Amino acid sequence: MVDTLLPETARPEPIRQPGLGPVGWLRWAWRQLTSMRVALLLLMLLAVAAVPGSVFPQRRIDPGAVTAYLSEHPSTGPWLDRLGAFDVYSSPWFAAVYLLLFVSLVGCVVPRARQHWRNARSAPPRTPRRLDRLPVHATAVLDGVDETAALDAARTALRRRRFRLADHGSSVAAEKGHSAETGNVAFHLALLGLLVSIAAGSLFSYSGQAIVVEGERFANVWPRYNSFQAGRQVDPGDLPPFTMTLDSLSVVFDETTQGNQFGAPRSFDGRLTVVDEPGAAPRAARLRVNSPLDVDGTRVFLVGNGYAPVVTVRDGEGQVAASGPVPFLARDARYTSVGVVKVPDAAPRQIGLSGLFLPTAFVDPRLGPVSIFPDAKDPRLYLTAWVSRPGEDGLGLDSGVPQSVYVLETEDMVQLRGSDGEPLRLLLSPGATVDLPGGAGSVTFDGVKRYAALDIRYDPSKVWVLGFALLSLAGLTTSLFVRRRRLWARVSRDDEGRTVVEVAGLARGDDAGLGPLVAEVLQDVKTPSATGSTTPKE
């Protein structure tokens, strides 16, 4: 680069470039990284890198969708997985982009902050010799006003507009708007603080999902969660020991509006009894969407709901082997729900039931049984039944291999068939009991309860994240709207002995208001009586 700056005559022979060496290369890389151009490219790259996360299903949001995608795309799916397409925001390449961006930001902002610190404390620069060369410039002739008075008037006019002043003999220099750069630096440092807060928060926060059926009590211990994620600094054995009972969950669906809003939810309203810590007095609380329960910083959110049909299963010996509500997962907006009932204690043969719960049942000639309304207007259970071989653990619950409570492992089970040889289909309305063939037992559909799907979260970094976000917004706004301006006023005497006042201004970037400002200041100097009465406080 250097030789291109030299004039042609200064290059008698080709210059031998000295080798950069490792330190030189590092310095070169650093200079590149902290250059505005690279920062800009990284910023654009960040936007592009974020997009795949909205196109492909993400594991941390919807792991089921990822599994479905992988089975639908057996050839491309695994490659996309290897590239991190299903974990975009925790993938190495995404991290590389934003970490490089932040390194670039630090390398850019820290020297700038240092420079700004010096500039903000130094006096306004001295008056240029030729004020009329500045972008905005205006003069006025003041007859009968002496030079000192005119300069005083200029000083007053500028100070009144909150300029910092410096006297330079027959002229005064004024500067204002350092807060723009302060805001700029604050904005960028706040973004850094935001990133650090988020990273620290992931160490100290935990979250878990749990399903609580009406009438059930939830104790905040991690085995009670259906899924649980915790940061490295969280001891899952030492969670805040609160309990809560879901007394009721009332749900309202739209029954009046026609069209696509028919059946849309209108209200989910949970009533809780909360015990904040062992021995504390129980208190009543409400739990609704947008209105979480707060127990000393741990927040409980109502994120879903569904139906838990109450089922009683008697085994081949006539004993009640299982009885209680079984949560079914809603599959569509009309709450067509799927679920399984596992009865490992049934003797002599274990029983497994799998099927659909329909809050308002309708048998579609093409689709089969579906729900046509989300509320439990006419509930039905459609089940198929499986049994183990006598005395065997066909369900595999004792095998030690973890399995989902919503999936029936049928590998070691035998499907029950009707007299026609077709797989047996049980259709139950509330209160009904159906005997299983072969003396395997019976199934009773006792009724329906609702359950609440809860998200329970603790994140101590939230307040920091919010603080830095607000700081960045304040800094951004300041940097974009505060104008950095320099003004100078000089008094002199013309050939005829009259006092001449020159006012000139310089702004950073485009500044439509600079011209009017210069004119106003000049006007104040011309008519000091207007400003004299409103002398500012120091």
Write out the binding residues for another protein, residues 46-105 only, by CB under 8 A.
46-47, 50-51, 53-55, 58, 60-62, 65, 88-89
Q: How far is CA 330 from the centre of its chain?
A: 26
* CB closer to another protein, 111 vs 437: 111
* CB closer to another protein, 373 vs 386: 373
Q: Is the CB of residue 178 less than 8 Å from the CB of residue 423?
A: no
| Residues 269-288: x where in contact with another protein by CB under 8 A, - otherwise, as a string | -------------------x
* CB closer to another protein, 444 vs 461: 461
Q: Which of residues 20-49 bind another protein (CB under 8 A)?
A: 36-37, 39-40, 43-44, 46-47
DSSP code at position 30: H
Selection from 451, 454, 450 nearest residue 242 by Cα: 454
Residue carrying structure tokens 């809603």: 330
Half-sphere exposure (Cβ direction) of 431: Cα atoms closer than 13 Å: 1
Q: Which of residues 365-404 bind another protein (CB under 8 A)?
A: none
* CB closer to another protein, 261 vs 415: 261
Please identify, among the stretches 152-160, 262-270, 275-283, 424-432, the one whose residues bind another protein according to the rule CB under 8 A.
262-270
Distance CA 457, CA 209 (A): 9
- Is there binding between residue 229 and another protein (CB under 8 A)? no
* CB closer to another protein, 41 vs 320: 41
Output the CA torsion sign for 87, 91, 93, 94.
positive
* CB closer to another protein, 170 vs 229: 229
Q: Which of residues 469-488 bind another protein (CB under 8 A)?
A: 469-470, 472-473, 476-477, 480-481
- Is there binding between residue 259 and another protein (CB under 8 A)? yes
- Is there binding between residue 457 and another protein (CB under 8 A)? yes
- Is there binding between residue 423 and another protein (CB under 8 A)? no
Please identify, among the stretches 18-26, 72-80, 120-128, 514-522, the one whose residues bind another protein according to the rule CB under 8 A.
514-522
Q: Prior bond to 348 cis, omega within 30?
A: yes
3-state secondary structure of 234: coil
Q: How many residues bind another protein (CB under 8 A)?
A: 73
- Is there binding between residue 267 and another protein (CB under 8 A)? yes
As a dihedral over the C-alpha atoms of residue 103, residue 107, residue 113, residue 116, rounded to 10 degrees, the angle is -150
Element (H, E) at 151: helix 147-160
Residue 127 corresponds to which tokens in the numbers above? 């008056």
- Is there binding between residue 212 and another protein (CB under 8 A)? no
Residue 269 corresponds to which tokens in the numbers above? 């309203």
Q: Is the CB of residue 173 less than 8 Å from the CB of residue 128?
A: no
